[in-house]
Amino acid sequence: GLALIGLPVCIGALGFTGAGIAAGSVAAKMMSAAAIANGGGVAAGSAVAVLQSIGAAGFSLGAKVGLTAALGSAGAASG
């Protein structure tokens, strides 16, 4: 449960926000590097694109279910 709340908060702190990528942030540096590497654009499905999607809209229901299952299993195994 904590990861489902904590991950979006951390992603937002990096500069991936609902209003877009924050100027001067880690996200802006990542986007710049990705754009330079791809000839001026950021590829769909890239880490920058996925993080921006999460920053803008949060996790989808499918992602929440998947993370809950995976993290629950990991927690049970470590316990």
Q: Residue ranges per domain, the chain?
A: 1-36, 45-78
pLDDT given for residue 24 in this prediction: 95
Integer Cα distance of 7 and 12 in angstroms: 9
Provide the β-strand partners of residue 21: 16
Residue-wise pLDDT tens digits, 21-44: 999 999 999 999 999 998 988 888
| 10-14, 25-29, 44-48, range with greatest mean pLDDT | 25-29
Whole-model pTM: value is 0.62
The three-state (H, E, C) secondary structure of the chain, written as one string: CHHHHHHHHHHHHHCEECCEECCCCHHHHHHHHHHHHCCCCCCCCCHHHHHHHHHHHCCCHHHHHHHHHHHHHHHHHHC
Dig out the tokens for 55 from the structure.
């920053």
